[in-house]
């Protein structure tokens, strides 16, 4: 029976020869993940189950990243609870302040995920790891609490949507633009409980950083997971990071898809998502002048080294516009360190940006860049719902790192072409 890459991974982890869309399967989990917001809830469930120990101390990752350094007493208590649980159960991958960063950046960076893995995280953007050819998806903390005890969970096999990107990417168009454009086609409910399979000649040339960005936002279409077939670019990324080569699976040529959507990129412009939804997308040239109070470059979507490099291409010798707060947060300590070595951080500082420690920062409106009533921000993050980054009467626009850099300099939403 022909299968997609997602179906092959689920079949392997369910101990079955084949699976088909709609089928319920019990699967073994390769890596379970939680952060400083979701881990305490999962730990409470673990205790309610009266479990004696975790299923595998080396296959759990606990990453404080949302409110660190701790912003208040409540967040400090959450991290303390998580830390104490990790110590009690000798969990290998607990990331203390100084080594922690954004969970969906540091786990691939540290080689904890390989192609063919099945990853469950108590965070909706766990779908990021599909960039490596893994099946990864978010679940609630209750589910994760049970996984901490058993190493298993139930999944319904998702139907698949194949996205085929054709043509040549124009200058300044990045993975963020591809996924925003795709969301404009699908809508936020256009792929509910489906697997989004990214393919085509454009995809095969994308860097891992760009792939992570696209997989990260699969959930914004309601997808269960987003996935790329692993290739030589994937292999080059995991070499030297992971001692597990993984399973380099591919969809069968005659695998079944609910939809196949072809997307021509030749004439694509940088894309911007307007308030208050990631699918409210327009080309940057069609955006009316929008004065900005804040620009945020970072998050699990676009806080990687390539994102910072691309932004500084536009910032050298330029200054952030008066009245604009430009916040830059590297996704991990190693990215921060390399950005210092390459002079990237100096370029940001010279331009007038503020650099924050590796964490989620302003993305969820809780820490280090909360918006006030009526303020407008452009963000490289993944969501712009009402109140996402602060006051419910603020507005958030989503775009790529290069659009963020251009907009910080211009003081309004702007195309890199303008610089």
d(CA 194, CA 219): 10
Report whether 136 contacts 46 (CB < 8 A).
no
Q: Is the pLDDT of residue 397 over 90?
A: yes
Q: Could you report the per-residue pLDDT of 217-247, keeping only the tens digit for each?
A: 999 999 999 999 999 999 999 998 998 989 9
What mean pLDDT comes out for the span 140-160? 98
d(CA 103, CA 299): 10
Give the pLDDT of residue 38.
98
Helix (H) or strand (E) holding 376: strand 376-379
Pick the CATH number of 5-263 from 3.30.1490.20, 3.30.499.10, 3.30.2000.10, 3.10.20.600: 3.30.499.10
User: In the 8-state DSSP scheme, what is residue 396?
Assistant: E
d(CA 107, CA 93): 9
Helix (H) or strand (E) holding 262: strand 259-264
- Written as six digits, the tokens of 10 are 């689920």
Give the pLDDT of residue 395.
98
Which of the four pLDDT bands, split at 50, 70 and 90, describes residue 207? very high
Domain with CATH 3.30.499.10 in the chain: 5-263, 271-418
Neighbours of 78 (CB within 10 A): 23
The most distant pair of C-alpha atoms in the chain lies apart, rounded to whole Å, by 61
- Written as six digits, the tokens of 402 are 């290069």
Crossing angle between the packed helical segments 305-315 and 344-351, to the nearest 10 degrees: 50
What mean pLDDT comes out for the span 70-74? 96
Give the pLDDT of residue 374.
97
Q: Is the pLDDT of residue 366 over 90?
A: no
Residue partners of 302: CB distance under 8 A and separation at least 6: 176, 213, 380, 381, 400, 401
Q: 187: burial class by Cβ within 10 Å (0-12, 13-18, 19+)?
A: middle
Please name the residue that has the structure tokens 């960039």.
131
The terminus-to-terminus CA distance of the chain in angstroms comes to: 53
Average predicted confidence (pLDDT) for the chain: 97
**What is the sign, positive or negative, of the torsion defined by CA atoms of 116, 120, 124, 125?**
negative
- Written as six digits, the tokens of 116 are 């063919």
- Written as six digits, the tokens of 130 are 């599909």
d(CA 393, CA 222): 25
Report whether 79 contacts 64 (CB < 8 A).
yes
> How many angstroms separate the Cα of 336 from the Cα of each of 53, 100, 211, 262, 320?
35, 12, 20, 37, 21
Assigned superfamily of 271-418: Aconitase, domain 3 (3.30.499.10)
Helix (H) or strand (E) holding 156: strand 152-156
Residue partners of 23: CB distance under 8 A and separation at least 6: 156, 157
What mean pLDDT comes out for the span 127-133? 98
Q: Could you report the per-residue pLDDT of 281-336, keeping only the tens digit for each?
A: 999 999 998 999 999 999 999 999 999 999 999 999 999 999 999 999 999 999 99
Q: Could you report the per-residue pLDDT of 184-201, keeping only the tens digit for each?
A: 999 999 999 999 999 999
């Amino acid at each position: 029976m022909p299968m997609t890459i997602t179906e092959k991974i689920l079949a392997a982890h369910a101990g079955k020869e084949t699976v088909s869309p709609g089928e319920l399967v019990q699967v073994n989990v390769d890596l379970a993940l939680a952060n400083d917001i979701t881990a305490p809830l999962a730990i409470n469930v673990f205790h309610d189950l009266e479990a004696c120990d975790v299923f595998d101390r080396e296959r759990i990752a606990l990453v404080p990243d949302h409110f660190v350094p701790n912003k208040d007493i409540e967040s400090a208590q959450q991290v303390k609870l998580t830390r104490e649980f990790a110590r009690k159960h000798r969990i290998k991958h607990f990331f203390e302040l100084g080594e922690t960063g954004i969970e969906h950046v540091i786990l691939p960076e540290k080689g904890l995920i390989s192609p063919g893995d099945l990853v469950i995280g108590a965070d909706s953007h766990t779908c990021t790891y599909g960039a490596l050819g893994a099946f990864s998806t978010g679940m609630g903390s209750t589910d994760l609490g049970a996984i901490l005890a058993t190493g298993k969970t139930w999944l319904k096999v998702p139907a698949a949507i194949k996205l085929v990107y054709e043509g040549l990417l124009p200058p300044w168009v990045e993975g963020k633009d591809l996924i925003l454009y795709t969301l404009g086609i699908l809508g936020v409910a256009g792929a509910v409980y489906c697997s989004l399979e990214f393919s085509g000649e454009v995809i095969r040339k994308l860097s891992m950083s760009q792939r992570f960005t696209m997989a990260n936002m699969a959930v914004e279409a309601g997808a269960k997971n987003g996935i790329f077939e692993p290739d030589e670019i994937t292999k080059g990324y995991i070499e030297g990071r992971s001692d597990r080569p993984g399973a380099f699976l591919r969809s069968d040529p005659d695998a079944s898809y609910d939809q196949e959507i072809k997307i021509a990129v030749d004439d694509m412009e940088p894309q911007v998502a307007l308030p208050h939804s990631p699918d409210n997308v327009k080309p940057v040239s069609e955006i009316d002048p929008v004065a900005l109070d804040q620009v945020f470059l970072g998050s699990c979507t676009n806080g990687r080294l390539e994102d910072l490099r691309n932004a500084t291409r536009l910032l050298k010798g330029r200054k952030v516009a008066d009245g604009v707060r430009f916040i830059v947060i590297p996704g991990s300590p190693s990215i921060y360190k390399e950005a210092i070595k390459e002079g990237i951080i100096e370029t940001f500082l010279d331009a007038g940006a503020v650099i924050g420690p590796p964490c989620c920062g302003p993305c969820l409106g809780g820490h280090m860049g909360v918006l006030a009533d009526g303020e407008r921000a452009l963000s490289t993050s993944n969501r712009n719902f009402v109140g996402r980054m602060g006051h419910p009467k603020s507005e958030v626009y989503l775009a790529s790192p290069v659009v963020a850099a251009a907009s910080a300099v211009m003081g309004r939403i702007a195309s890199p072409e303008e610089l």
